[in-house]
Amino acid sequence: MAWEIQGTHTHMHVCKYKYTYTHAHKGQTRINTDMYTHAETHISTHTALRVGHQLPSDRSLSVNFISLFLPGRAPTLWHGPEQTPGQSWALSSPTACSALFCLAELGDGEKTRLGPQLQHGLKRPHQGCGSSPRQKHCRKQQLELTRKYLQLLRTSAQRHCGDGVPKPGQTFGAHQPYVPPILQWSRATAPLDPREGAVLGDPKTEDSTDMSLQDLFNFKASKGPRVTVLLGKAGMGKSTLARRLCQKWAEGQLDHFQALFLFEFRQLNLITRFLTLPQLLFDLYLSPEAGPEVVFQYLKENASRVLLIFDGLDEAIYPCSSKDTLGPNGSGPALTLFSALCRGTLLPGCWVMVTSRPGKLPACLPTEAATVHMWGFDGLRVEEYVSRFFSEQPAQEVALAELQGNGHLQSLCAVPALCQVTCLCLRHLLSGNAPGQSAALLPTVTQLYMQMVLTLSPPGSLPAKSLLGLGEVALRGLEVGKVIFYAGDIPPAIMAFGATHSMLTSFCIHTDSGHQEIGYAFAHLTLQEFCAALHLMASPSVDKDILTSHVTLNSHWVLRTRTRLNLSDHLPTFLAGLASLTCRPFLRHLAQRNEAWVGARQAAVLQVLRKLATRKLTGPKVVELCHYVAETQESELASLTAQSLPYQLPFHNFPLTYRDLSALTSILEHRADPIHLDFEGCPLEPHCPEALAGCGQVETLSFKSRKCGDAFAEALSRSLPTMGNLKILG
């Protein structure tokens, strides 16, 4: 007895298979195949067809299968044990995962017997589309699906990253001018771990302070991982640059790339299920309107023209191991997919850019990754930003005059995020103060943020209850590692307050179940830390022991895990700043308590700082302590800190900015004895030597194993004549 079952097997590479099923005398199952034409959609690993009892022996049927095969490979055919009518008939494919069947009559012209039988395990060579009208039409349909998706990607990028559109992470959610920060290449072939001297020892450094967006990618790179790591401290504009790249690509400027995907680790942290690469691209970013497997195959075949940007690697909770492996069709956590993309085991040939704060980076990054340091603004960039912010001429002249007359304010504006907040506050202050007085109201980072809150509050009143409530949400989030909140996490009144005053932003996030929900976040992580500091300092529900436990010197060499969240880099800085006498009236109003109550809490913070000042500290913690002490504006504490520093003060293998050296020199001004500053293997911001101008305490200055470039040399040459007691330059 023999039945013929002829089938249409569809897959991306435009082939139609016909099958002949023969029930022989001894029950053997044989499947004959040949390639004929095409169809298009889904996939099958193991498909089974029931053969009905009532079928006559001369009846021919068509079975339409939908499945996906690897390029250039025919299906692997399988025949099971003896089959009888009513039992299963099966086909196995290397890449299949589901099956769809429908029965239909074949045309008379398609009922011919097919070619020679394939033995079990053999694969017929891949055949192209050919040149028949049907095959050309199929190929045209596939290209049209891909073209529509690539255009959809650009449209989505324009909507989410274009100018004038509020975005997560953009302070106040309003349109702001964009000035490119200083970017500096640093290439190395060692692991990206500053403690081991990698990236920092003696790499090839190009003094490229005017890099274009195209310069971030070396399009002449050989095959293999093409990974760029963008390192910058908080507020330097890493997330802004990532979105700027997305925007410029949507406008057609990065024309090398046909597809660009932008992910944030703070959102990927919310996904706990395992993902395949198509799920990452299509479920969590943007899904094609039709034919996802056709689109994904196109991306694989054109991987060299695909760019994936991952923002905030330092916020990734689950560190991956350098031993993690993932096959081309494997699934895993989002961070494992990221690792496989970087190492070229997924989507080989694609480009990956990742942003992070400096510190210990996961070992999953390839050793050949290129590193770019983001340094923020120099003086010319600060002036350009202020000029663009104050577009009207009278206000522009006044703002520039305020800035140029206050060196400390210029130091704050070296950080792009602080420059933006400064301009916002100046716009509010200039109308009510005499020339030259507005800048004096912004002496520290903490008071800059405090002035920002007053600027955003209703005129003549500070909503203390709402601000403390927002601070409680912020602190609770930092304690559990949460930077994205859902509506249920924030009381409605607090939500309304934060949204009204642009402290909270909202955006769509993809949940673990595959659905979309509205998420909320503070406009910047530093704003979340500032609000948390307000709650700790002014809330009666927080005792002094809890308050002082947050005044610590953080380590930057620890990866984030569920037990080690490390989200509070600037929280101690804000607590130190709120301990300033200048902040006492603000805190009294916020806490609705008397001066003695507020003064006791400020004194508790200062006492912890005095203890830290007398300890023997490493270079990174010395710099961090200098920032804390400068925020307090306490000259006695500054003197204690300065005198406790050793004569030979080493700084080895960690990045230093203009603001870092500015904080250091502000403390050294309170030191009577000379000091020797030794910088070895430290990436240095090109114009940071300007912060040393006028520092008379430095007797010996040494820079070792560092190619700093012309901009650094010029800045140093301007500062050296002002350092009156300098005897040795190494």
Give tens-digit pLDDT for 193-228: 433 333 333 333 344 445 667 778 876 666 656 899
pLDDT for the residue numbered 165 = 37
CB contact at 8 A, 288 and 328 = no
Convert the pLDDT of each residue in 133-182 to its tens digit.
Answer: 777 778 888 899 999 999 999 999 988 886 543 344 344 445 578 999 99
Q: Indicate whether 32 pLDDT > 80.
A: no
Pairwise CA distance, residues 332 & 79, whole Å: 32
CA geometry: angle at 263 spanning 262 and 267, to 5°? 150
What's residue 718's pLDDT? Answer: 94
Check residue 460 and give its pLDDT: 72
Res 226: pLDDT? 87
Instruction: Give the other-Cβ count within 10 Å of 51's Cβ.
Output: 17
Specify which residues 676 forms β-bridges with. Answer: 648, 700
User: How far is CA 565 from its chain centroid?
Assistant: 17
Specify the long-range contacts of residues 149-153, CB closer than 8 Å, at least 24 apart. 149/288, 149/289, 149/295, 150/258, 150/259, 152/286, 152/288, 152/289, 153/259, 153/260, 153/261, 153/286
Residue 159's pLDDT is: 86
Indicate the average pLDDT of the chain: 77
For the residues 38-59, what does the mean pLDDT come to? 34
Q: Mutual orientation of helices 571-578 and 445-456 as an angle, nearest 10°?
A: 80
Judge residue 201's burial from the number of C-beta atoms within 10 Å of its C-beta, 0-12 exposed, 13-18 middle, 19 or more buried. Answer: middle
Query: Which tokens go with 320?
Result: 């991956």
CATH code: domain 145-161+180-376 is 3.40.50
* Domain ranges within the chain, ordered by starting residue: 1-128, 145-161+180-376, 443-613, 635-730
**Residue 316 DSSP SS3:** coil
Give the confidence band of 630 by pLDDT, cuts at 50, 70, 90: very high
Q: What is the mean pLDDT of residues 16-37?
A: 35
pLDDT at 566 exceeding the cut of 80: no
pTM of the model as a whole: 0.77
